[in-house]
């Protein structure tokens, strides 16, 4: 059965112009405001997602694509490489949910002989269409969904920077349009692969702060010193040799341990590190909602969290129930009430940095699920083994009110807890 409908949250990025900036090699960072918006259940389509739990929450960025420019809304995903747009088959379509290549003077298909068509960074390498001699791409995901189309190049405009020509997937099949106007036309790949938007735009540093409510957050593309942020850095992890199950273009860090309420979990270091095949890496991913742990680590977290919350929070005790199939550490809370404010924080320990999940980021109310007069709330850590994926994934729900910086120049990720509205004010955004 599909997971129950969930509250849909869409974070909309609105460009704040900065005169004289360049998209490809900016001399000044591109600064955006990031707003949180709640959308009624069912308002967004289910996208072709790389994981089955990536269906109900998206971070979206609005860009202008083509000549004359067409405004599109794309999911911002640090866990994917190739950007793609749902392309209208003809060019006469007017829906905001698709890009019209025939209406653009700067659209160009990528031929089979192009170096871009020989990319090996993608999970499935591009293929050549023998009849048209055009490069074709197919993206398949763990939930069984897929997107198929042609590799192309087009002009992308971010803010008021000069246009940037970049390769992307012009997809013939993807997901349906939304009747509520909050529509995504595709995905903006932001990982470290050669065909990602980050790489093609020569962006060596970007960062964001995701708000937990309708306050202003921030997206920053490019280099900028932020003296008011006490960033702690953890190095990006890369094995010395290629491994079959290690995603080498992901933002991977080293997970060293987990604490619950200040108590270290008895998890062997070997469980938290990639094995000889590369399975078990830890990825920071804006395209995933919650955080996922491999089975042994998840079991340890579940046991300790249930133990520490037993006096104040009754467990659901329903072995047949799991929210979105992977979240089975659930509790009963009287309808109309919130869970207790004082719950044991969960801290993820990295090499040089840590991330603490506390307060209302620990539990998520399952929409429409009741037990008598109680609502059902689940811990926002899921079991990777039942998705299934062979990695630890840190989703954007646990990145809320944390400044997250991706520094490719020095090969590191920076973390600093801060309220997003405070960060916006310090950066001088008028919101």
pLDDT digits (tens, 9 = 90+) for 325-364: 899 999 999 999 999 989 999 999 999 999 999 999 999 9
Rounded to two decimals, the pTM is 0.85
Final residue in a domain of this structure, among 151, 185, 203: 203
The Cα 25–Cα 95 span in angstroms is 32
- Residues 386, 257 share a domain: yes
Which domain CATH number covers 267? 2.40.70.10
Residue 218 placed within a domain? no
Same domain, 107 and 240: no
251 and 325 part of one domain: yes
User: Which of residues 203, 223, 251 is at a domain's end?
Assistant: 203
Helices H, strands E: what count in the chain? Answer: 4, 28
| pLDDT the model gives residue 4 | 34
The count of C-alpha atoms lying within 13 angstroms of the C-alpha of 175, restricted to the half-sphere facing its C-beta, is 19
- Residue 232: what pLDDT? 97
Instruction: Say if residue 145 is in the same domain as residue 68.
Output: yes
**Is 216 a domain residue?**
no
Domain extent at residue 196:
8-203
Judged by DSSP in three states, 55 sits in coil
Distance in angstroms (rounded) separating the CA atoms of residues 359 and 145? 34
Q: What is the pLDDT of residue 177?
A: 33
**Dihedral angle at the C-alpha atoms of 44, 47, 50, 53, nearest 10 degrees?**
30
Residues 184 and 273 in one domain: no
Question: Do 391 and 384 form a contact (C-beta atoms < 8 A)?
Answer: yes
- Are 188 and 316 found together in one domain? no
Residue 182 and residue 244 share a domain: no
User: What is the total count of domains within the chain?
Assistant: 2
Asked if the bond preceding 68 is cis, omega within 30° of 0, the reply is yes
Active site residues: 77, 285
Q: What is the pLDDT of residue 118?
A: 85
Which of 162, 188, 203 represents a domain boundary (last residue)? 203
Q: What is the pLDDT of residue 15?
A: 37
Say how far apart CA 171 and CA 86 lie, in whole Å.
5
Q: What is the pLDDT of residue 186?
A: 83
| Pair (195, 278) in one structural domain | no
Q: In the Cβ-directed half-sphere of 373, how many Cα atoms lie within 13 Å?
A: 3
Q: Are 135 and 153 in contact (CB under 8 A)?
A: no
Residue ranges of the chain with pLDDT lower than 70?
A: 1-28, 31-59, 90-97, 141-145, 160, 174-184, 213-217, 429-431
Q: Are residues 155 and 302 in the same domain?
A: no
The whole-number pLDDT of residue 76 equals 80
């Amino acid at each position: 059965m599909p997971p129950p409908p969930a509250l849909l949250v869409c974070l909309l990025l609105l460009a704040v112009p900065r005169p004289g900036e360049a998209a490809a090699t900016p001399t000044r960072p591109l600064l955006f405001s990031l707003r949180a918006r709640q959308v009624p259940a069912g308002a967004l389509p289910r996208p072709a997602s790389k994981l089955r739990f990536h269906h109900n929450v998206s971070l979206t960025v609005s860009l202008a694509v083509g000549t004359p420019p067409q405004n599109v809304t794309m999911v911002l995903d640090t866990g994917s490489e190739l950007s793609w747009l749902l392309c209208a088959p003809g060019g006469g379509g007017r829906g905001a949910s698709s890009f019209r290549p025939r209406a653009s003077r700067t659209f160009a298909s990528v031929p089979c002989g192009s170096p871009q068509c020989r990319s090996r960074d993608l999970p499935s390498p591009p293929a050549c269409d023998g009849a048209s001699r055009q490069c074709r791409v197919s993206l398949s995901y763990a939930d069984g969904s897929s997107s198929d189309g042609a590799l192309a190049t087009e002009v992308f405009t971010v803010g008021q920077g000069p246009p940037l020509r970049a390769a992307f997937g012009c997809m013939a099949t993807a997901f349906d349009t939304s009747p509520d106007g909050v529509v995504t036309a595709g995905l903006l790949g932001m990982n470290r692969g050669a065909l990602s938007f980050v790489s093609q735009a020569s962006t060596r540093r970007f960062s964001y702060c995701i708000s937990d409510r309708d306050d202003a957050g921030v997206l920053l593309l490019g280099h900028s010193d932020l003296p008011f942020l006490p960033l702690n850095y953890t190095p990006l992890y890369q094995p010395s040799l290629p491994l079959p199950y290690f995603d080498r273009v992901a933002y991977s860090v080293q997970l060293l341990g987990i604490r619950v309420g200040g108590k270290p979990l008895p998890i062997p270091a070997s469980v938290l590190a990639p094995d000889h095949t590369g399975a078990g890496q830890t990825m920071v991913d804006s395209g995933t909602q919650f955080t996922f742990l491999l089975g042994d680590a998840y079991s340890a977290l579940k046991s300790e969290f249930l133990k520490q919350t037993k006096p104040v929070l009754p467990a659901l005790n329903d072995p047949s129930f799991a929210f979105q199939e992977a979240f089975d550490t659930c509790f009963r809370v009287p309808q109309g009430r919130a869970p207790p404010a004082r719950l044991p924080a969960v801290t993820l320990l990295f090499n040089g940095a840590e991330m603490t999940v506390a307060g209302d980021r620990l539990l998520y109310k399952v929409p429409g699920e009741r037990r008598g007069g109680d609502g059902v709330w689940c811990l926002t850590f899921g079991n990777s083994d039942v998705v299934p994926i062979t990695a630890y994934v840190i989703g954007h729900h646990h990145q809320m009110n944390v400044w997250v910086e991706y520094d490719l120049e020095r090969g590191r990720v920076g973390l600093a807890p801060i309220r997003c509205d405070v960060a916006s004010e310090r950066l001088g955004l008028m919101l």
